[in-house]
Structure 1
Amino acid sequence: MTNFLKDKLLMQDAILSRDFIEGIVATENTRTYLQRREPNHSQALLDAFTAHVPTFPDVVRANLYGVDRSVIWSSNPKLVGMRFADNHELEIALTGQIVVETGEIAIASGKPEHIGLASAAGPHSRQRFVEAYIPIRDESGKAVLAVIEIYKLPNALFEAIDSGLRLVWLAAAGGGILLYVTLFGIVWKAHTMMREQRERLIAAERLAAIGEMAATVAHAIRNPLASIRSTAEIGLEEDRAGTEASFNKIMRQIDRVDAWIRELLIGSIGSDEVREVVDIEAVIRECLDNLKAETDVQKIEVSFEPRQTPRLRGARVQLARAITNVLTNAVQAMPTGGRLVVESHATRDGNLEIVIEDSGHGMGPSLARRVFEPFMTTKPNGTGLGLALARRIIERHAGRIRLETSEGCGTRIILNLPQSP
């Protein structure tokens, strides 16, 4: 692009010089002299032409060549009558084409026809020059009568070229950077999406395994548990001395195992559960009431702030389980007390948003990235299914769940659900 721009501008300058020369040739009838070339014939015609050439802007040297390759006239009289061999540019110009070359005077001074050019250019010996070979044709425009060679030091033209080249390079660099950033963003986004899809696929496979396992475990364990609990209840009714505490302990442990089994069963539930209009505010209050015993024992201050909470259509039992799992996780993060804040409100786009925030110890980035993975837990007696199943339930309702946390600053979990999934 830079070479194209430079060549085009230099050629345009040469074409402009050609138009001036053709105008002078026509006005001064110079073709009559060039066609005859007889000694002392119409020398005034040549002098009239050559008197104009040095007045061209930025010209420091001009040579006029005949078709025999000899110098007819030159602004340096020492060159008149000389003939330069191996002048490739002159040979091309004699075929009727304009030839333009450029370079630095100090470097180009080695050519024979450049003798004395450096001194003619002045003290700036490394100035850039333009050398143009311009053919002069006959009136029919077919035959070449002579070639005029013009050396110019067009500083303003070179400044314009340099400015244009800078713009070309800046535009190319800017375009390259923009293209790189765009492609990098596309690749990074694709990489992120593929990673998320891979993680979700792994999670789905794990949850599918949970479902298969739950179907077997439920029938194998729940029935014996129900029988054991019934026996404990009968023992309590008989009011035997010293057995009440033992029976209560048995019932608590059975309820605990039963809760684990329910978690497994939730993982195996399909997408055809019954949908109904759900009052989420009432569901949240119910979930908080179920955890009241634990929050009281751990001295956790609970705050629920509903603000124009919209109702939505979904599976009430499953949504309650998801909210309970998140609340339970928050309560377990504050074993020595703290503050639990629950908010529910409508977003600007009409969705329902539930924010559950605890003042626990929070978690680092590496743990936060894995918190929704099945079987991922930091609790000695945890199953690692609570948040994973909560995420699955929310996503099954076309919603999103995200986590905001930092070590030592608590955790916020935001559930976003559309009103009509």
Structure 2
Amino acid sequence: MKIIEIDIGDEMTQQAKNSYGSWRNRELSREPVAAQPIEKPALNGHMRFFELRRFVVVCIVAACFAMTLSHFLMREIVSRDAQLTSQFVTNIASGHSQQVELVKILDERTDLINLGIGTSTAMAVRNQFYDHLNFLPDMRRANVYTPDGKIVWSSNSERIGKIENINKELSQVINTHEMIYTDFMSQSNRNEVEQKLSQLFTADAQPFFVEDYIPLFDKQGNILAVVDIYKEPLSLLDTIHHGYLLVWLSTAFTVAFMYFARYWITRRTEKAIAEQHHIQTETPACLPPLAVVTAYDFRKTHRLMRTNARLDRMRRAG
């Protein structure tokens, strides 16, 4: 009797498994037809739109960052060059302080007798200072102004002795007692570039030059002269261009890396969500066949237990 129950249970379990296998094959063969043409095209269309919009936003933010960094880089390089030029000129002027206070004799209208300085000594000191200015690197023109606007010396001898109207840069230096510089490469100074190039440089004028106004003080801190230097720093311009190139290449690489990294993360997330969705939709459909198999297994176990109990009672009774 026990053997009969086992055979019947095995046969019913096998039938349940066969019914579950046939149902699963039907569901798997029907799944691509029902899911693929309806959900995927709409999802891909939305994802393409969001990916494009994300790429545009990242490019705009990166371009703004690169422009800001490029502008800051140019400001710092030009400012550092102007500070070095100012230190150089100031050190030259202060180097003559042991013999005579240079700034007091730059103006030829100064009374040398009251200072106790001979004319030849004063001229020698002036010429030595002017020679240093004349051989500054990348210098195209240099002028030495008095506070009233008179040019006491210029690399262009035709301008020596002229009195010009005090421009805003010279006036700012006299009022603030600080060195200022102006670079003529930005869009706001384009018209002024053309005017200054026509006035200052006779040949081979470059579109970029720097103008430094350097005040010279006496021992009491009064401004007695202002050195105006126009330079075309080609090496400085090359450095700025190399800095621009490095900034924009780094920005482009960063944008590409960020975009593809986010794209890869997004695709992996989509794949994980799709797999989870597939599992969630497949599990409820599998429950009825699994319930049938479980019921048959439970029924088989119950019959075996009843048969064993009956046999046990028969042994005890016999």
Give TM-score scaled by structure 1 length. Answer: 0.44
Cα shift at 1:56:
0.7
Structure-1 separation of matches of 2:239 and 2:139: 18
Cα-to-partner distance string for 1:306-356 (whole Å, 9 max, x where unaligned):
xxxxxxxxxxxxxxxxxxxxxxxxxxxxxxxxxxxxxxxxxxxxxxxxxxx
Pick from 251, 255, 258 the counterpart of residue 172 of structure 1.
251
SS in 1 for 2:209: strand
How do residues 288-367 of structure 1 correspond to structure 2 at under 5 angstroms?
A: none
Cα shift at 1:110:
0.9
1:78 paired to 2:177: no
- Counterpart of 2:138 in structure 1 is 58
- Counterpart of 2:75 in structure 1 is 7
- Structure with a larger share of its residues in strand: 1
SS in 1 for 2:201: helix
- Report the residue type matching 1:100 in the other structure: Y
Cα-to-partner distance string for 1:183-242 (whole Å, 9 max, x where unaligned):
2222222232223223322223x33xx53xx3xxxxxxxxxxxxxxxxxxxxxxxxxxxx
Q: 1:185 to 1:37 in 2, by over 3 A?
A: farther
1:88 paired to 2:171: no
- Counterpart of 2:89 in structure 1 is 21
Cα shift at 1:127:
4.3
- Counterpart of 1:196 in structure 2 is 275
SS in 2 for 1:61: strand
Q: 1:40 to 1:139 in 2, by over 3 A?
A: closer
Q: 1:200 to 1:82 in 2, by over 3 A?
A: farther
1:98 paired to 2:179: yes
Cα shift at 1:62:
0.4
Structure-1 separation of matches of 2:245 and 2:295: 66
Cα shift at 1:75:
1.5
- Report the residue type matching 1:180 in the other structure: Y
SS in 2 for 1:128: coil
Structure-1 separation of matches of 2:134 and 2:217: 21
- Counterpart of 2:201 in structure 1 is 118
Q: 1:143 to 1:102 in 2, by over 3 A?
A: same
The 8 Å contact of residues 104 and 224 in structure 2, kept in 1 or not, is answered as no
RMSD of aligned alpha carbons: 3.1
* Number of residue pairs aligned between Structure 1 and Structure 2: 210
The 8 Å contact of residues 146 and 225 in structure 2, kept in 1 or not, is answered as yes
Identity rate of aligned residues, in percent? 26
1:153 paired to 2:238: no
The 8 Å contact of residues 151 and 159 in structure 2, kept in 1 or not, is answered as yes
Say which structure, 1 or 2, has more relative contact order (CA 8 Å, 6+ apart): 2
The 8 Å contact of residues 33 and 46 in structure 1, kept in 2 or not, is answered as yes
- Structure with a larger share of its residues in helix: 2
Cα shift at 1:34:
5.0
List runs of 5+ in structure 1 lacking aligned partners: 215-261, 270-421
The 8 Å contact of residues 144 and 153 in structure 2, kept in 1 or not, is answered as yes
